[in-house]
Amino acid sequence: MSTSVRRSVRRRTIGAGLAAVALAAGAVSCSKGGEESPKMTPAAAVAKAAKNTEDITSFRYRMKGKVPEQGRVEAEASMRIKPSVAMSMKMTVPDQGTKGTMEIRLVDKAMYIGGNADLAKEMDGKTWIKFDMSALGDKNLGATTPGAGQADQNPATESTFLTGAKNVKKVGTETVDGVKTTHYSGTVTVADLKASFKDEAKAVREAREKSLQQYEKLGVDKLAMDMWVDGENHTKQFRMQGAADKGPLDMTVTFLDYNKPVSVTAPPAKDTADLAEMMKGLQDG
C-alpha cells in the first residue's frame, strides 16, 4: 500500500469514525411514559433526570444529525459503561456515499473501525482497522483523533448539561417512540456549564468537565438544548445545537433501553490491520 493511500485511509477512518463516536452521544435512557410532578419546576425536573444518569450501566440509542466537517450522520449503538466500557455502533455518513458506511467497536481499550468495502480494497483485504487507545493515553489521543480520549467515559454526562442553563423552560408534553414525555429547552454557555460543575461531587464534576472538553475543541461556546424526560425521570431523547469553528453541530439522540446486558467482541485478528503498526511503518519509511 502506498504512503499516500495509507494517509488517506487514516484521515478518513479516524476523522469520520472517532469524531462521530465522541459526539455520538450523550444522554440516558428510555422508560415508561408519564409526566413530571405538577409541583416540580422545569429546572428541578431536568436536575432530577441528570441525577439519574449516575445509575446508568448500559444503554442502546439512535442518533441523527450533523457533525462539523462530516455533515449528516446516522447511527445506532449499544454501549456498556460498567463494569468496563464497551461499545458497538453502526454508522452512516450519507454525504460520503459508500465510503461513509462503517461499524465501530470499542472493547478492551481498543477502537476498531470496519465494515466498509472500499476500505477493504485499500487495506489488502483487511476489513478492520485497530486503533489502540490505551497505548497513547488520553492526552495524546485527544491530539491525534479529536474526541477519542473521551470514548472511555460515561456519555450520559452530556445530557446533564441542560442543568447549567439559566433559562430552562417547559415546552409541553410530546410522545417520543411511543413514550409520553415532557419537553424542556434552554441555552447554556460553556462558561455557565463550568460554573455549574463546581457544586457537584468530585467524580461527577470531573466526568462532566471531561465531556465538555470535546465541545471546547470544536470551538463551541454555546449550546441550545432540548430534553425529553419520561415519567420515571429519565431522559428519553435530547438534542444539542451549536456553532463550531468548522461547521454546525446539530445532534439528536433517542434512547431505546437501558441497564440491559451489552456484549462486544473484537473482530478476528486475521481481518484486522493495526493502525499503530501502519503509522510506525510510515515513520520508518
Residue 152 lies inside a defined structural domain of this protein:
yes
Q: Which residues of 135-167 are buried (b: 16+ CB within 10 A; e: fewer)?
A: ebebeebbeebbbbbbbbbbbbbbbbbbbbbee
pLDDT for res 268: 92
* Number of domains within the chain: 1
Higher pLDDT, 1 or 237: 237
pLDDT at residue 26 is higher than 80:
no
Model pLDDT, residue 113:
86
- For residue 269, is it within any domain? no
Predicted local confidence at residue 93, as pLDDT: 84
pLDDT of residue 155 exceeding 70: no
Q: Sort 203 into a burial class: Cβ within 10 Å, 0-12 / 13-18 / 19+.
A: exposed
Judged against a pLDDT cut of 50, whether residue 147 lies above it is answered with: no
Q: How many CA atoms lie within 13 A of 285 on its CB side?
A: 12
Q: Is the pLDDT of residue 84 over 90?
A: no
Whether 71 maps to a domain, the answer reads yes
Q: Identify the CATH number of the domain in which residue 97 sits.
A: 2.50.20.20
83 cis-preceded (ω within 30 degrees of 0): yes
Q: What is the mean pLDDT of residues 101-116?
A: 86
Q: Is residue 242 part of a domain?
A: yes
Encode 56-88: b = buried (16+ Cβ within 10 Å), e = exposed: bebbbbbbbbbbbebeebbbbbbbbbeeebbbb
Mean pLDDT of 232-257: 92
Distance CA 129, CA 140 (A): 19
Higher-confidence residue: 149 or 5? 5
Share of the chain above pLDDT 70, in %: 73
Whether 72 contacts 62, CB under 8 Å: no
Q: What is the mean pLDDT of residues 252-278?
A: 88
Confidence at residue 279, expressed as pLDDT on a 0 to 100 scale: 65
**What average pLDDT does this structure show over 261-276?**
89
Domain membership flag for residue 267: no
- Which of the four pLDDT bands, split at 50, 70 and 90, describes residue 7? low
Give the C-alpha separation, 188 to 219, whole Å: 14
Domain-embedded: residue 270: no
Pairwise CA distance, residues 215 & 230, whole Å: 27
The residue with cell 501502519 is 278
Top-confidence residue, 215 or 33: 215
Q: What is the mean pLDDT of residues 70-86?
A: 87
More confident residue, 211 or 173: 173
Averaged pLDDT score across all residues of the chain: 77
Alpha-carbon gap, residue 225 to 252, rounded angstroms: 10
Flag whether pLDDT at 31 surpasses 50.
Answer: no
272 in a structural domain: no
Highest-scoring range by mean pLDDT, 34-38, 53-57, 250-254: 250-254
Phi, psi (degrees; rounded to nearest 5) at 145 = -135, 100
Residue 237 pLDDT = 93
**How much is the pLDDT for 135?**
61
Note whether residue 273 is domain-resident: no
Q: What is the pTM of this model?
A: 0.77
pLDDT at 9 over 50: no
> Which range of residues forms the domain containing residue 88?
3-262
The pLDDT value recorded for residue 285 is 56
